[in-house]
Amino acid sequence: MSGGAPSPGRAPVPGWPAAAPSSPPLPLRPSAPVLGASILGPLVNLTMRGLLGRRRILLVGLLALAPVGVAVVLVVGGGLSTTAQLTRQLYDSLVMTTIVPLVALVLGTTAIGAEIDDGTVVHLLTKPVGRGWIVFAKMLVAGTAGVALCGTSVLVAGILLVRLDAPGLVLGMLVGAVVAVIAYTAVFVTLSVWTGRALIAGLAYVLLWEGFIASFFSGTRLLSIREYGLAVAAGIAGPEAGTLARDVPMATGLVLAAVVTSVAFWLGARRLARFEVSDAG
């Protein structure tokens, strides 16, 4: 892969898209002395501190751990025999419908949207840094945080509920959530580069499109990140998938998630390269 873009081989996040675009679309002359991979470290470091420094990260953490809380209540509280079926329902209707998209929404829009809102993004934009790398660093940090939070939550909740009776199901749910959270964060990072109302737009997508329209019209499922995640979860769970089973094959889900993530990255980098800092006065 020739200089510039994040290569899938180096992806530090499990499930990071196989098809990352080959180079950020920057309007640069070949000789332009613009920095690339060498500044990823400082950018990632800055983004991490920015994300961890904001109070909303605590909220996101609590949100992400909600399934664990529910699992604990179910296991300890009822003495009720927690079955794999209950676990599937929890995963389908809570984790993949609400937790994963909302965690990704807050992380994705905070990673760069907050810097655009408060004006600190100017300090990044006035540097000879390829815009694709700024977007990539934001997606990397938000995605990694999302994977860590949602992954832990699904794994712990899954093991609490089905113990080791259905390891395939737990693994499937884990990978499905990871794939979904990566695609979601990429989309939401890009959304906040394109619009100052990314949070609203993101909520509209999650609640209206995925929550409502896509659940009624099966044809629109191919345009739903949630469905990609569920397809991957069902594919890995195999016979243990039960009601999680999907019309969309796992390979299709994976490829589409990778395409969505890559396109989101490309659009984000493209937009940031032509980004105008409005500062009235």
Residue 128, exposed/middle/buried by CB under 10 A (0-12, 13-18, 19+)?
exposed
Closest by CA position to 137, among listed 274, 263, 12: 12
Residue number, 219 or 281, with CB nearest to another protein: 281
CB of 4 to another protein, least distance (A): 13
Give the burial string for 51-82 (b: 16+ CB within 10 Å, else e).
beeeeebeebeebbbbbbebbeebeeeeeeeb
CB of 27 to another protein, least distance (A): 5
> What is the rounded CA–CA span in Å between residue 174 and residue 186?
19
* Residue 43 CB-half CA count within 13 A: 27
Residue number, 128 or 238, with CB nearest to another protein: 128
Residue number, 43 or 225, with CB nearest to another protein: 43
Interaction site with another protein (CB under 8 A) = 26-29, 32-35, 38-39, 41-43, 46, 49-50, 53, 118-120, 122-131, 273-274, 276-281
CB of 47 to another protein, least distance (A): 11
CB of 131 to another protein, least distance (A): 7
Residue number, 39 or 257, with CB nearest to another protein: 39
